[in-house]
């Protein structure tokens, strides 16, 4: 029987390895659900790297297994193996291929970084950017602290090439403190322990840190940016899928680093407007003076006072209604 040429076996093995690695690289479930415009860019790059890694694994481990079988020691064979002193074509091959892979991945990663907006902050600083300065700890932070600095972020993920020169739809000042995230909305005066954004909006986060280095990471957005003390940074994104997603500090920041978590809530535009309106009403009172009030301790007029404007009546009308009921 005629022996099958090694070149044909190599071709068949290459086809099988390619098919398996491409299928695994495109059908794995290692990453969470995509929820931002930037996520497909990162996932595409990850899938290519994972495909190459699977192919290399199969080639290396497959070769080891074949050699273990092909060149195993036979019973009664005590002779030495054939002396081998190098193979120049093989050495050039296994040096050139990894070199080309690394160069290609490097070029591709730079392109992905640019399309995500990684080259934007330093070249196109935003004069309208805001950084919140909220003294004290998370427990002492008040609801109406909206003090800001005018320093523009020059580090981070900024506008993509398609949105450069355009202001963001929503700007949020984010401060990292041990061990919490504080979100301030300059356009509405709202301060929250959670990030709320509308789906499809171009959101710009101005990040800062009060004490040590923190790292703002949203796995579902495939975005992570350090918050540095004294150095403003930026993170700009577009959420594409309504839902609630975890926000994690990815930089060791102290003994309770593991508990420095919150969430980003992506609303529909209508639900976001409703959330903003409700929180603007709730935070009208001075947070320095009022922490919590028991409604049963308020008179009828005091209880309804914050809602006078929304009810469309005057204070005198409200008082006359109360007196009439009494």
pLDDT tens string 110-137: 999 999 988 876 544 443 333 333 333 3
**Cα–Cα separations (whole angstroms), residue 266 to 188, 240, 308, 317:** 18, 8, 30, 40
> What does DSSP assign to residue 168?
P
For the chain, what are the domain ranges? 6-69+91-116, 126-282
Nearest one of 268, 246, 278 to 181, comparing CA atoms:
246
Q: Does domain 126-282 have CATH number 3.40.50.740?
A: no
pLDDT digits (tens, 9 = 90+) for 190-212: 999 999 999 999 999 999 999 99
**DSSP designation for 320:** H
Q: Which positions of the chain have pLDDT values less than 70?
A: 1-2, 121-153, 285-326
d(CA 68, CA 121): 54
């Amino acid at each position: 029987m005629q022996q099958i040429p090694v070149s044909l076996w190599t071709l068949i093995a290459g086809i099988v390895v390619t098919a398996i690695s491409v299928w695994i690289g495109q059908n794995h479930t290692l990453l969470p659900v995509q929820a931002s415009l930037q996520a497909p860019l990162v996932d595409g790059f990850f899938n290519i790297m994972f495909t190459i890694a699977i192919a290399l694994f199969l080639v290396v481990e497959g070769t080891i297994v074949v050699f273990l079988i092909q060149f195993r020691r036979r019973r009664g064979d005590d002779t030495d193996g054939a002396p081998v002193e190098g193979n120049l074509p093989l050495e050039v091959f296994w040096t050139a291929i990894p070199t080309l892979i690394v160069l290609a991945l490097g070029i591709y990663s730079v392109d992905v970084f640019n399309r995500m907006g990684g080259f934007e902050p330093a070249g196109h600083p935003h004069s309208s950017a805001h950084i919140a300065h909220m003294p004290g700890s998370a427990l002492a932070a008040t609801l109406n602290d909206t003090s800001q600095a005018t320093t523009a972020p020059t580090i981070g993920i900024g506008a993509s090439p398609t949105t450069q020169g355009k202001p963001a739809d929503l700007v949020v000042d984010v401060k990292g403190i041990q061990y919490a995230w504080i979100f301030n909305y300059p356009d509405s005066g709202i301060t929250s322990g959670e990030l709320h954004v509308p789906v499809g909006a171009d959101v710009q986060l101005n990040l800062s840190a009060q004490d040590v280095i923190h790292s703002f990471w949203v796995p579902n957005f495939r975005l992570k940016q350090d918050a540095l003390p004294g150095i403003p940074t930026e993170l700009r994104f577009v959420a594409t899928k309504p839902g609630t997603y975890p926000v994690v500090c990815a930089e060791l920041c102290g003994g309770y680093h593991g508990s420095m978590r919150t969430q980003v809530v992506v609303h529909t535009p209508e639900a976001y407007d409703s959330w903003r309106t409700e929180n603007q009403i709730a935070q009208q009172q001075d947070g320095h003076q009022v922490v919590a009030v028991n409604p049963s301790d308020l008179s009828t007029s005091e209880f309804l006072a914050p809602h006078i404007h929304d009810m469309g009546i005057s204070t005198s009308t409200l008082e006359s209604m109360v007196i009439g009921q009494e």
